A = this chain, B = another copy of it.
Amino acid sequence: MMNHALTVGAMMEHAETFFPKKEVISQTHDKIHRLTYKEIGKRTRCLMSALDRLGIKKGDRVGTLAWNTHRHLEIYFAAPGIGAVLHTINIRLTPEHIAYIINHAEDQILFVDEDILPLVDKLQHHLKTVKAYIVMTDKDELPTNNLPNVYSYEDLIMNGNENYEYIKDIDENDPAGMCYTSATTGKPKGVLYSHRAIALHSYALGLADTAALSESDVAMAVVPQFHVNAWGLPFACTWFGSTQVLPGPRFTPERLASFIEDFRVTVTAGVPTIWLGLLKELEQKEYDVSSLRGVLCGGSAAPIGMIRAFEEKHRIPFFHAYGATETTPLATYSRLKSYQQDISEEEKIIEKTRQGILIPGLEMKVVGDEGEIPWDNETMGELLLRGPWIADSYYNDERSEKAFTDGWFHTGDVVTVDEEGTIKIVDRTSDLIKSGGEWISSVELENVLMAHDAVFEACVVAMPDEKWQERPIACVVLHDNYVDKTSKEELLDFLRPQFAKFWIPDDVLFVEEIPKSSVGKFLKRELRRSVLEHYQAESEEI
């Protein structure tokens, strides 16, 4: 067979050639743009020529601080298209971490959305490797700034060469992309994505039994393009010619709902917090969301009440997927097997709370205290993954050793597996509660709590306990209209019939909000610290 590399550039070439009329709909600060793949393709080539002229070479890192827009999409292809590495930076990190990431990756150039410019302006003196800044705006004049070597994105496009060629001399194992995990402790850790990994992962997204991304889809990636390549959607959707809807900067649930209605979105992807917001919006106002064939959910486990609301109330099929920054990210996808279709609607909802089965091409192993666990839907173990789109190390990072041993990526996620091979995330290894030698899943407790009418959000953390080693404490945010009307005992009574006695939390604390990471995950370590302080303060008061 031909020695033919899978490359990111070839995906955009495929779209230009076979889907030139299909559109990308993009919300920027000022307006909605509609561009065809023919136009996007030309603009991408112009951008490649500009990067080349600015001295960007094969292997150089190209940073982006940007929202989900067509310009960000163009950089997705232009950077790897000249052999450089697309480095998407999580704009929700602290300024210190952002500076650390840019310096650690040694970004040569930074693309910046106009509203992020003030931040970059402030950070510039800490950035050791950045030689030029490119500002993305619809306005004729760039916003005021004190940066050296600033260029306007649209000027570069306008003066670019629309016939510029994608690099051909490239190994598919060369890096095409890069993303840092928003670690809850310590410095962020970088993961490099190869051309090969991105291409294979895109195939995975197109498979009939996973997301089945298709030319006929109108796909809206709500998950940020700065977060694990928006789960790979921009790559796959381009390759397969799907219409893309990019919701732009600082979107609201209202914008998402309107876009679904206006552009007849068929498939959308994001984290549970986003979907909680969307559900609230759908309660408040009437929208036609009948075009949706799937809401994809990942990042953390969706509570059953949310799934029920999508499936039963709004008749929108809801699909769990699972992955991590280290896994490009899609690793499992939830879809009932053909012979499971006869189960009751209620059982189907319960099945939908699981994260699904492994994507073809990957391998998994689930390991507990005593080696590989049985697939009995009960025993817990850590999920280990390997395969062609699973990272083998962190970029220039000593912490690699711990997560990548014996040829497997140790996800840190604790799962159970049923006899179908379907996994269910029950916790993080670090968040599992060990009480009297038994494991308690904080996530399962949270999910059941969140199914209570009064509960908006719940987070269960471990508190040190002299007798039992650790004991669970539940922190609960109530819906506005339930505040002061719901008691601790009521919630514990709600839990009791559903769990073994030793699982029931020792206490319920009502809080105003749960601290969250930049991508909407509960910051349990932080919460644990405040809960600990709360009890210490209490005991001092006593």
Residues of A in contact with B (beta carbons under 8 Å apart): 1-6, 10-11, 13-14, 17-19, 21-22, 173, 192-194, 196-197, 199-200, 202-204, 206-209, 212-216, 239-241, 328, 335, 337-339, 357-358, 360-361, 363, 386-392, 407, 409, 420-421
Cβ–Cβ contact B208 & A390, under 8 A: no
Picked from B194, B338, B389, B420, the residue with its CB within 8 Å of the CB of A18 is B420
Cβ–Cβ contact A390 & B421, under 8 A: no
Cβ–Cβ contact B361 & A2, under 8 A: no
Cβ–Cβ contact B196 & A1, under 8 A: yes
CB distance from A403 to the nearest CB of B (A): 12
Cβ–Cβ contact A209 & B209, under 8 A: no
Cβ–Cβ contact B1 & A194, under 8 A: yes
A13-B363, A203-B204 given; 12 more Cβ-contact pairs under 8 Å? A1-B197, A2-B387, A2-B409, A3-B173, A6-B361, A6-B388, A18-B420, A21-B339, A200-B203, A203-B207, A207-B240, A240-B360
Given contacts A21-B339, A339-B21, contact A214 B206 (CB under 8 A): no
Write the chain B residue with the least CB distance to A199.
Answer: B361
- Could you say which residues of chain B place their CB within 8 Å of the CB of A389? 1
Write the chain B residue with the least CB distance to A363.
Answer: B10
Cβ–Cβ contact B2 & A390, under 8 A: yes
Q: How far is the CA of A67 from the CA of B287 in the complex (A)?
A: 56
Picked from B3, B18, B391, the residue with its CB within 8 Å of the CB of A2 is B391
Cβ–Cβ contact A4 & B388, under 8 A: yes
CB distance from A337 to the nearest CB of B (A): 6
Q: How far is the CA of A3 from the CA of B407 in the complex (A)?
A: 10
Q: How far is the CA of A21 from the CA of B421 in the complex (A)?
A: 12
Cβ–Cβ contact B4 & A390, under 8 A: yes
Q: How far is the CA of A18 from the CA of B18 in the complex (A)?
A: 35
Count copies of this chain in the complex: 2
Cβ–Cβ contact A208 & B212, under 8 A: yes
Picked from B2, B5, B196, the residue with its CB within 8 Å of the CB of A407 is B2
Cβ–Cβ contact B239 & A2, under 8 A: no
Q: How far is the CA of A207 from the CA of B194 in the complex (A)?
A: 21
Cβ–Cβ contact B17 & A421, under 8 A: yes
Picked from B17, B212, B213, B360, the residue with its CB within 8 Å of the CB of A14 is B360
CB distance from A58 to the nearest CB of B (A): 18
Write the chain B residue with the least CB distance to A358.
Answer: B18
- Could you say which residues of chain B place their CB within 8 Å of the CB of A11? 360
- Could you say which residues of chain B place their CB within 8 Å of the CB of A386? 2, 4
- Could you say which residues of chain B place their CB within 8 Å of the CB of A22? 337, 339
Given contacts A199-B361, A361-B6, contact A193 B338 (CB under 8 A): no
- Could you say which residues of chain B place their CB within 8 Å of the CB of A200? 6, 203
Q: How far is the CA of A339 from the CA of B426 in the complex (A)?
A: 43
Q: Which of A6, A335, A361, A391 has the most CB of B within 10 A?
A: A361
Q: How far is the CA of A2 from the CA of B406 in the complex (A)?
A: 12
Q: How far is the CA of A212 from the CA of B208 in the complex (A)?
A: 5
Q: How far is the CA of A389 from the CA of B202 in the complex (A)?
A: 17
Q: 20 A–B contact pairs at CB < 8 A?
A: A1-B173, A1-B196, A1-B388, A1-B391, A2-B388, A2-B390, A2-B392, A6-B200, A10-B361, A18-B357, A22-B337, A203-B203, A203-B207, A203-B360, A206-B207, A206-B208, A207-B208, A209-B214, A209-B215, A209-B216
Cβ–Cβ contact B338 & A215, under 8 A: yes
CB distance from A500 to the nearest CB of B (A): 30
Q: How far is the CA of A335 from the CA of B240 in the complex (A)?
A: 13
Q: How far is the CA of A13 from the CA of B391 in the complex (A)?
A: 22
CB distance from A495 to the nearest CB of B (A): 33
Closest 7 CB pairs of A and B: A203-B203, A208-B214, A208-B212, A216-B338, A206-B207, A1-B197, A2-B392
- Could you say which residues of chain B place their CB within 8 Å of the CB of A216? 209, 337-338
CB distance from A33 to the nearest CB of B (A): 20
